[in-house]
């Protein structure tokens, strides 16, 4: 599903922040990605969700070597990836409903289909009464759930979540990760970045640990 081989990365002409990263995520797996703040978790995920290209090495997603993939071919790959961004990245001028609908609109899904799916998913994440609210009127926890809804509405085969529990209390955080487990159970490959060791110790998934720009892979946390 995702395969990194000898991957290095730098931003523009900055220092190299990831060196010689190699790992393989099988289809249907559930991984945590952890490491200190600034270790490079977001950067590694950006390579995975095709926001940046590796400076060196090979990144393969869905079997496509991203280094050799043309710009034109990226949108189709990106539509199979759901991303929960660390800073949510919701569109402040759009309602909750339209924020979630955006991924489907971009893919050209029909409006009546969008309408039904979005309402159903938003009530599933407990925001059924906030369909027409704009993000600025929501709590951080609610924004997070809108961001999650937008990431999963297109039934992605790869779900990448960057600190999806960053702004909610522990109980909420556990609920979100359980929700991802449900998606994982129906076949979604899941990668969750978190620096919260306590939270990931409650789960039994494999952990990718970033230290000094390189990767160590641990077995299940407990």
Ligand X SMILES: Nc1ncnc2c1ncn2[C@@H]1O[C@H](COP(=O)(O)OP(=O)(O)OP(=O)(O)O)[C@@H](O)[C@H]1O
**Which residues here bind another protein, judged by CB under 8 A?**
49-53, 71, 74-76, 78-79, 83, 85, 89, 91-94, 98, 102-103, 105-107, 111, 150, 154
Confirm if 221 and 207 have CB atoms less than 8 A apart. Answer: yes
**CA distance from start to end of the chain:** 25
| Virtual torsion, Cα 20, 220, 40, 198, nearest 10 deg | -160
Nearer to another protein, 115 or 178 (CB): 115
Residue 89 binding result from Mg ion, another protein, ligand X, none, given CB thresholds of 5 to 8 Å by partner type: another protein
What letter would DSSP give residue 14?
Answer: S
What is the helix (H) or strand (E) element at residue 151, kind and residue range? helix 140-152
5, 22, 55, 86: residue in contact with ligand X (rule CB under 6 A): 86
Nearest distance from residue 195's CB to Mg ion, in Å?
8
Select from 42, 123, 133, 214 the one that contacts Mg ion (CB under 5 A).
42
Please choose which of ligand X, Mg ion, another protein, none residue 105 contacts, taking the beta carbon within 5 to 8 angstroms, the exact cut-off set by kind.
another protein
Q: Which listed option, ligand X, another protein, Mg ion, none, makes contact with residue 114 (CB within 5 to 8 Å by class)? A: none
Listed ranges 33-41, 76-84, 101-109, 196-204: which one lies at the site for ligand X (CB under 6 A): 33-41
Is 45 or 59 the residue whose CB approaches Mg ion more closely? Answer: 45
214 Rama class: left (phi>0) / alpha (psi -120 to 50) / beta: beta
Which residues lie below 8 Å from residue 185, measured CB to CB, with a gap of 6+?
Answer: none
Distance CA 76, CA 106 (A): 11
Question: Considering the complex, what minimum distance in angstroms separates the CB of residue 158 from Mg ion?
Answer: 18
């Amino acid at each position: 599903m995702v395969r990194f081989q000898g991957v290095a990365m730098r931003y523009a002409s900055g220092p190299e922040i990831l060196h010689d990263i190699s790992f393989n995520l099988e289809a249907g797996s559930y991984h945590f990605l952890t490491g200190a703040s600034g270790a490079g978790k977001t950067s590694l995920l950006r390579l995975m969700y095709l926001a940046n290209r590796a400076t060196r090495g090979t990144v393969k997603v869905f079997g496509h070597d991203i280094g050799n993939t043309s710009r034109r071919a990226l949108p189709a790959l990106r539509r199979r990836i759901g991303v929960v961004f660390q800073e949510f990245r919701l569109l402040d001028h759009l309602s909750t409903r339209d924020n979630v609908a955006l991924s489907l609109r971009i893919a050209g899904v029909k409006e009546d289909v969008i309408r039904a799916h979005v309402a159903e998913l938003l009530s599933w994440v407990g925001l059924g009464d906030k369909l027409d609210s704009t993000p600025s009127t929501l709590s951080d926890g609610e924004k997070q759930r809108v961001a999650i809804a937008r990431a999963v509405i297109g039934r992605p085969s790869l779900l990448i979540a960057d600190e999806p529990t960053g702004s909610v209390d522990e109980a909420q955080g556990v609920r979100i990760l359980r929700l991802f487990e449900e998606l994982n159970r129906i076949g979604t490959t899941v990668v969750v970045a978190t620096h919260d060791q306590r939270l990931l110790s409650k789960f039994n998934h494999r952990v990718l640990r970033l230290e000094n720009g390189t990767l160590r892979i641990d077995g299940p946390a407990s």
